[in-house]
């Protein structure tokens, strides 16, 4: 009985879908990787990544694995799933979650965080293409009068941090940031959260319905042909696990709430960097 309870607890800890994501960090930290053994899972008796995937899918049914790679620690794979990482021994017999820290000269380095950041950067073009293919008529859009930036936000009306971000939409709009909402019912299709989002997307005035849902906790049940399920599927494809999840036009993912002042500063910085890169490219072409 104790063994069965332990298995249930492990599954719950691995497969739980994150609730509202807390404040996001928009400052990138450049740190050196440990110079220790980085041969990853290449050890005697190691299974292939595909074999590890089969084992995990059998023993942890429901896990949505996006990729499996050797980890910085020899004898272990790092498994990317639902926007998270878990570590599996090369023989497929042990699993652990949490942050893998590497000890370097200046102190510990969060290798899990680095791996997640790198994976997110690699997937940015895919996210950008998918979002660009969507029509704004299938979103709930709060458009800036003098639009300078556009952010697409996967949201759930039951999320406290989503409500906190929504309260700052006027400030974002005033600074030229258009906010486009996409549906992310964290509990899945058919859930209460799903029904609430459907009522927003099916409302005659979607902006008013979103305001009422997030700021007043008021809902008017309504149904129609809607994109909520397909947008939820996008969150699965992107490996998102929490709300709000902000996507910029280049596919950059900001996981969690970001104060409007920091978000605006980040958007301006990206615009400045893009302009600088374009100017350097022009100069190089002319020389």
Tokens of 205: 């005035």
CA gap 86, 96 in Å, rounded: 6
Of residues 127, 163, 180, 186, which has the active-site annotation?
A: 186
CA gap 118, 131 in Å, rounded: 20
Of residues 20, 158, 162, 163, which has the active-site annotation?
A: 162
What is the secondary structure of the chain as a DSSP string? -HHHHHHHHHHHHHHPPP-B--PPP------PPP-S---TT--TTPPPHHHHHHHHHHHSTT--EEEEEE-SSTTEEEEEETTEEEEEETTS--EEES--EEEETTEEEEHHHHHHHHHHHHHHHHHHHHHHTS-GGGSEEE--TT--EEEEEEE-TT-HHHHHHHTTHHHHHHTTEEEEEEE--TT-TTSHHHHHHHHHHTSSSHHHHHHIIIII--------S-SHHHHHHHHHHHT--SB-EEEETT--EEES---HHHHHHHHHHHHHHHHHHHHHHHHHHH-
**Is 186 a residue of the active site?**
yes
**Is 162 a residue of the active site?**
yes
Of residues 156, 158, 163, 180, which has the active-site annotation?
A: 156
Query: Is the Cβ–Cβ distance between 263 and 165 less than 8 Å?
Result: no
Backbone angles phi, psi at 144, to 5 degrees: -75, 140
**Is 159 a residue of the active site?**
yes
Of residues 20, 127, 158, 159, which has the active-site annotation?
A: 159
Query: Which residues have a catalytic role annotated?
Result: 156, 159, 162, 186
């Amino acid at each position: 009985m104790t063994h069965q309870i332990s298995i249930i607890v492990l599954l719950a800890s691995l497969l739980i879908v994150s609730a509202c994501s807390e404040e996001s960090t928009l400052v990138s930290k450049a740190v050196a990787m440990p110079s220790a053994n980085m041969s990853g899972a290449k050890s005697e008796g190691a299974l292939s990544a595909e074999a590890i995937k089969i084992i995990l899918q059998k023993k942890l049914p429901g896990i949505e694995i996006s990729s499996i790679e050797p980890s910085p620690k020899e004898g272990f794979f790092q498994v990317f799933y639902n926007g998270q990482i878990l570590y599996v021994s090369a023989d497929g017999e042990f699993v652990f979650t949490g942050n893998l820290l590497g000890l370097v000269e200046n102190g510990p380095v969060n290798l899990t965080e680095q791996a997640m950041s790198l994976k997110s950067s690699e997937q940015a073009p895919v996210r950008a293409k998918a979002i660009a293919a969507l029509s704004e008529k299938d979103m709930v859009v709060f458009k800036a009068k003098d639009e300078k930036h556009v952010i697409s936000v996967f949201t759930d009306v039951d999320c406290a941090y989503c409500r906190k971000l929504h309260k700052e939409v006027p400030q974002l709009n005033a600074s030229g940031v258009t906010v486009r909402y996409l549906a992310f019912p964290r509990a899945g299709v058919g859930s209460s959260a799903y029904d609430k989002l459907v009522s927003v997307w099916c409302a005659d005035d979607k902006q008013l319905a979103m305001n009422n849902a997030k700021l007043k906790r008021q809902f008017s049940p309504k149904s129609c042909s809607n994109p909520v399920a397909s947008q939820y599927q996008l969150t699965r494809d992107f490996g998102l696990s929490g709300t709000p999840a902000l996507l910029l036009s280049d596919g950059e993912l900001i996981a969690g709430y970001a104060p409007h002042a920091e978000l605006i500063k980040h958007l301006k910085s990206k615009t400045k960097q893009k302009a600088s890169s374009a100017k350097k490219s022009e100069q190089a072409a002319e020389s």
